[in-house]
Amino acid sequence: MLRSACTKRRKRRRMRRRKMTRTTISGLRASQPERGDFEANFIRLLDKLTNGSTIEINQTGTVLVFQPGLLYGGTVEHDCNPQRSIGYYLEALLMLGPFMKSPLKATLRGVTNDLTDPTVDLLKSTALPVMKKFGIDGEGFDIKRGMAPGGGGEVVFTCPVRKTVRPVQLTDPGKIKRIRGVAYSVRVSPQMGNRIVESARGILNQFLPDIYIYTDHMKGANSGKSPGFGLTLVAETLNGCFLSAEMSSTPQGQGDPILPEDLGRNCAKLLLEEIYRGGCVDSSNQSLALLLMTLGQQDVSKVLLGPLSPYTIEFLRHIRDFFQIMFKIEVQKPLEDERKGGDKVLMTCVGVGYSNISKTLK
Amino acid sequence: MDGKVKKQKQHQQKHSGPKAEKKKLKKQNGSTEEDERKRNPKAFAVQSAVRMAKTFHRAQDIKTKKHHVPVVDRTPLEPPPIVIVVVGPPKVGKSTLIRCLIKNFTRQKLTDICGPVTIVSGKKRRLTFMECNNDINSMIDLAKVADLVLMLIDASFGFEMETFEFLNICQVHGFPRIMGVLTHLDAFKNNKTLRKTKKNLKHRFWTEVYQGAKLFYLSGMVYGEYQNQEVKNLGRFISVMKFRPLVWQTSHPYILADRIEDLTDPERLRTDPKCDRTVSLYGYLRGTHLKNKGQVHIPGVGDFQMSEVNFLPDPCPLPDTQKKRALNEKERLLYAPMAGVGGVVYDKDAVYIDLPANHVKQLQEEVRPTTELVQSLIETHVTLDAKMAASKVSLFSGSAGLDPTDVSEQSGVQDGLREMHVWDPHTQTRRRKVVFTGFEEEEDDDTTLDLVYLQFSAKKQSVFLPGCDPSVGAFKWKDGLQQKASAAFLRHQEAAPNLRKLVYGSVVEAEDSEEEEEAELGGLFRVNRPQKSKKVQANALDCSHFNPDISHNWELEEMLNSIRDCFVTGQWEEGQDAATLLKEDEELYGDFEDLETGKVHKGTTGEQDQAEKSESDEDETDDEDQQVKMDDDEVMKNKRLEKKRRLKERFNTEYDDGDATYFDDLKEEMQKQAELNRAEFEDMDDESRVQYEGFRPGMYVRLEISSLPCEFVTNFDPHYPVIIGGLGTSEGNVGYLQMRLKKHRWYERILKTRDPLILSLGWRRFQTIPLYHIEDHSPITPQGTGFLAVQSVSGVKANFRIAATGVVLDLDKSVTIVKKLKLIGYPYKIFQNTCFIKGMFNTVLEVAKFEGASIRTVSGVRGQIKKALSTPAGAFRATFEDRLLMSDIVFLRSWYPLSIPQLYNPVTSLLLPVGQKDSWSGMRTVGQLKHDLGVRNKPSIDSLYKPITRAPRHFNPLHIPRELQKALPFKSKPKLLQPKGKVPRDLKRASVIREPHERKVAELLRALSTVHHYKKKEAQRAHHAKHKEFLQQKEKDEEAKMKRMKDARKKLYRVMGQKDQKKQRSSLKGTPQDD
């Protein structure tokens, strides 16, 4: 199965892996060989996770031939490239983790929180409940923070192995019952956390009294190499769905510094935006949920999402290309007198009936 | 006498009288057990708690053993025909049986049974018969697809090897239903032997299949056919049989091809007759959903990529649902293209008409709607391309709901643009649509569908296909459109399909409408031009964050209000409102009677209902205000229904919860999932349904495979099954498998490592080289799949052919099998705990590689390699935990990686010429090679037998240290073993040399002492004799004395006894008179 075209190599690769797919792909990069550091790093991580995969990259870095082997798992240690945060790597691990041969225990070192990627805190609070719905529970996260650009954080991610994934019917998110959050600060004044919390609460208190935002100030060895602060907010609904938003301070020496009050306020607004979008899975985990639906048993799975993000749309195309699975997409418009945010999208699909073939039969 | 006579009479049951009445009453009441418990409580009392626990435990064990893991029922509503495979040794009557069954079901006679024959057997059941010949290849293939196996056994001969081989194959690949059929029963003349044989065969069959497996008897032939009644019975059994889903079959799509067409260009065939063929294969899809463009395996040919899959109208459809019991003549269809039956055969682009003598009329009647088209196609003799185009056009004009007069079609030849007039019901205007023909040719199906859709949607109709200049879309109707665009609800229906198109990219919205939409839909339509945006994203940051919509200002109150209801603090739906729930609860539990006071508490519903009219309840009949409007009535009715449903649900959950187990819950969950699966896509048309689910089992599909070897077509033999087995994701890869294997106990030879073996695993049959321990190189197949091994598939042998069976345990891409390797060395110099060892390695370099490795002596002294010595080469210094002896042997345990032979050689039996299909031979084993080439092995000299010569053994004396000797007890001291050592000088006696005089004296003394000794001896002897005499005398005296004493005692006792007696007697008499 040859596949050219370009882009989103990461996703593509991930997908490939997951299917343990076929042979090969030549991912043609559009012409920017210089941005390859973190991608090369990512491929190296994949190489560590698999057994029998071959990777060939041509000299200009525009063609990648990747032949995935079996997912092996086990204990893996990896130093991530500080250009991208650990979340970038973790997203892939979350998708691959349940389909390994042996339970995964990955230690990733690098930047835990930055602006571009979903932070580790966010993944911990939202991706894990999503996976739990699919019958994959028992993952663990152990975090030592390290802010961009220096990094120095460490995440230990453990994930059990599953033979099959359960189909889900997530059509009703329920109402939001509580909001939790973590305001973290490293190598800055511990007061920052409190300032963030206060401003965020100011906005969120209009809706709900049950708000608790932890302040997490880290010192010494646990605080990484660079100063910074940020906020992760998670809204939990009655049916156990999690919507989240996050914001980090701009990395030291890059761009304008941001005030903690502004950050708190903006982050709260981001959460409101996320709530406006709604759905049973928040926007950054849409692709994870869709993938697990695709890999489920040959049964109908349904999930209600907010509007599809561009990343998800791209992802859906990859799913179609690799698994020949198309989702039935139905838009649910809110009723006129309803005050429940914007349009929702109901995604329905029949799983491919994937079973973890690398797991050993005892 | 009377009673005895009565006893011999049979028991007469009473039909009247008190006893009969009593019995009747008992029967009516039924609850006998309860009564008995009451009547005789002691009999049911607990005798032993342990016994009771045991019986309970056992009962539960038996109960749980019956449970199977519940699986989601994925059988489609219209299932594919059941595959019935008729197996048996040659000349047992397979073809006759199929012929009889077909005649029984369809009243038609088939002369030659070629390939699968599909018939409609009942209102809900179709059957596909397939005959299995005696080739082990077809037996293996058919065992994998069979739902029911009719196993024919020649009763006059008994079981044959084929039967057992087939049973074994079935066991490995999931056990289909097996029904035995005994034939040739008329060969028995003696009724008793017949009965005995039947019984024996039945019991043997039961041990193979299961106790109580159905065995049918076909007693004899009438005019070359089996007896009608027996065949009818067999047919009835088949048509009501139930099947268990088999794991492999339900997890893989597969097709038993019943028709094959070669589509290769004839010109190409002419120039190169050996070119790869494009072949289309037809058959019912079974198992599970088939995805387009997947990988398939055709057993006997190899792995292929499907180039195209379509579904065709069912050639052998089930009758329409009507309420009647039997099928009429028209509905008893028979479809067997390979056997030359079936009449008209449709293809995607062709129609084949076979006109048999009978049935012609009926078949033509059925196909009326398309006959015109067929006729026209036959007449025109157009090319394939033209036909394709024609078919598309017809699809367009035939699309439902669209008035054909409103749609006129023109082919805009120049620029490849086609213009189309579309009637817009909304604006009441005629619109022109621009269609790009060049594009259409690529994605014909999709585009056509889209267009059809858009004609329905009542709004801005600009459909621009990629590459189309937007300026072309400057139409008159555009102005009106923009006004309308402001009305948000109009886009309501449109959004969904557009989103689908957006994601899967076959229709692109025009640029001008995009901006309005984006503002409206809140970022829903961000990526509007897949073609363009794809390129943009190629270099964009690969990140899953979804940036918020800038247009949302969360400072504004209205924005905040728009999400108020997302929180628990917001307003709830009416059904879930706290107030409603509370009220419901009250209705449920509100009314109760206080038993103590006798007061009746009424729920407050009545008052409440009166208060809020709209929510008034139907229970309150005395409600005064009945003047509700008509639509209000409707609302109320719905509400009532909803409420009833909820009440019922609640009741059900409460009622069922009592004994609901985990198993029940699981089963219910599966049931729900199955219902959902069925319901989800039910009301969609097949075209779109196929896109979402893939082709579902039960459909008649046509697969096109573009590169089949030419031998498949030229050497095609319809008697051999052609199976197309779908492969799951990644089952097309090659890797290493670890399997648990067991040699069949009936297989006579031994299996050797590296001797090629033919495995049947998954769909595949292939030759490979196993390595027993354990690992193997073959295509990846999921774990838990059973497999079967044979050593050769060619020819028919008398012996049992199945070599081994087993199961896949683990799979991997690379595997390291290691051999144990022991390196041996000998010490040549020993210090305290250090010693020098030689003979283990040959060079310093080798030693350097093993520095630090742990070594051990045979006696168990552990040590470590330290450093290499310069001489001799390969010697090294090692330290041990104790001092070594020169006689010790030192060894190093290590592992040597083994290279695993990689061989995957699919058995291509279907490609062999007709008549030789059972003669496939792959790689030969070493034994076969030697046999064929006449090579005799030269045995290793070491393995030859030689006369045994044993050297005499020499034992060193045991040395016990002096300290230890001292400590030993006297009896264990090595006194005797002590060698006669030197006597120290002081203990040595000096030899004495006597003088002659002294010598004389000594001589005399010696003589005297000799005499003295003699005398003394004599005296002693005399004394002994005397003493002996004395002792004898003494004994005699003693004896006499004893005798005397005994007599005296006897006398005394006698007297005493008499006295006693006298005394007793007198005491009995009474008082002593005078004593």
* Mean pLDDT, each 10-residue run in order, chain B (1075 residues): 61 86 80 72 86 93 85 84 93 90 87 87 89 90 93 90 90 90 89 92 91 88 88 92 85 90 89 90 91 88 90 85 70 80 60 54 42 46 45 38 36 38 44 39 35 33 36 42 45 54 58 37 39 42 71 80 83 73 67 52 45 42 50 84 86 68 85 87 84 88 91 89 86 79 86 87 87 63 79 74 85 77 94 94 93 94 94 93 93 87 88 86 87 88 90 87 88 71 80 91 96 97 97 97 97 96 87 50
Residues of chain A in contact with residue B813, where contact means CB-CB under 8 angstroms, are 50-53, 69-70
pLDDT of residue B534: 41
The ipTM of this complex is 0.84
Interface test with A, best of B542, B553, B810 (most A CBs within 10 A): B542
CA-CA-CA-CA dihedral for A238, A241, A243, A248, to nearest 10: 110
CA-based nearest residue in chain B for residue A27: B538
- The model's confidence at residue A336, banded by pLDDT at 50, 70 and 90, is confident
Q: Is B987 exposed, middle or buried (0-12, 13-18, 19+ CB in 10 A)?
A: exposed
CA distances from B517 to B486, B498, B509, B520 (A): 9, 12, 10, 5
Is the pLDDT at A358 greater than 50, yes or no? yes
CA-CA-CA-CA dihedral for B471, B473, B478, B482, to nearest 10: -70
User: B813 and A324: CB-CB below 8 Å?
Assistant: no
pLDDT of residue B379: 44
User: A273 and B548: CB-CB below 8 Å?
Assistant: yes
User: A300 and B564: CB-CB below 8 Å?
Assistant: no
pLDDT of residue B778: 59
CA-based nearest residue in chain A for residue B504: A317
User: B538 and A7: CB-CB below 8 Å?
Assistant: yes
Find out whether A208 and B568 touch, Cβ atoms under 8 Å.
yes
Find out whether A348 and A301 touch, Cβ atoms under 8 Å.
yes
Do you know the residue count of chain B? 1075
User: A329 and B496: CB-CB below 8 Å?
Assistant: yes
Tell which wins on pLDDT, B1008 or A24. Answer: B1008
CA distances from B829 to B529, B646, B836, B850 (A): 84, 93, 5, 20
pLDDT of residue B3: 47
Backbone angles phi and psi of A309, in degrees to 5: -80, 160
Q: What token pair was written down for B566?
A: 């997302």
Which helix (H) or strand (E) covers residue A318, if one does?
A: helix A310-323
User: A297 and B693: CB-CB below 8 Å?
Assistant: no
CA distances from A349 to A169, B692, B759 (A): 11, 7, 36
Q: Tell me which residue in B543, B728, B735 faces A311 most closely, judged by beta carbons.
A: B543
User: A284 and B569: CB-CB below 8 Å?
Assistant: no
Task: Specify whether the backbone of B370 is left (phi greater than 0), alpha (psi in -120 to 50) or beta.
Answer: alpha
Task: Specify whether the backbone of B957 is left (phi greater than 0), alpha (psi in -120 to 50) or beta.
Answer: beta
pLDDT of residue B454: 32
Tell which wins on pLDDT, B432 or A255. Answer: A255
User: B676 and A20: CB-CB below 8 Å?
Assistant: no
User: B680 and A348: CB-CB below 8 Å?
Assistant: yes
Backbone angles phi and psi of B8, in degrees to 5: -75, -15
pLDDT of residue B31: 60
Q: What token pair was written down for B496?
A: 């969904």
Q: Tell me which residue in B72, B539, B812 faces A51 most closely, judged by beta carbons.
A: B812
Size of interface A-B (CB pairs under 8 A): 248
Residues of chain B in contact with residue A308, where contact means CB-CB under 8 angstroms, are 499, 503, 524
Q: Percent helix, strand, coil in chain B (nearest 5)?
A: 40, 20, 40
Interface test with A, best of B528, B546, B734 (most A CBs within 10 A): B546
User: A300 and B673: CB-CB below 8 Å?
Assistant: yes
Shortest CA gap B878–chain A (Å)? 35
Q: What token pair was written down for B1?
A: 């006498």
pLDDT of residue B1050: 96
pTM for this model (two decimals): 0.69
- In 3D space, the residue among A182, A72, A65 whose CA is nearest the CA of residue A123 turns out to be A182
Q: What is the pLDDT of residues A145-200, one digit of tens each?
A: 888 788 888 999 999 988 888 899 998 888 899 999 999 998 888 898 999 999 99
pLDDT of residue B391: 43
User: B692 and A323: CB-CB below 8 Å?
Assistant: no
Q: Tell me which residue in B565, B572, B810 faces A360 most closely, judged by beta carbons.
A: B810
- Asked if the peptide bond before residue B984 counts as cis, ω within 30 degrees of 0, the response is no
Q: How far apart are CA A68 and CA A65, in angstroms?
A: 10
CA-based nearest residue in chain A for residue B538: A7
Percentage of residues of chain A with pLDDT beyond 90: 23
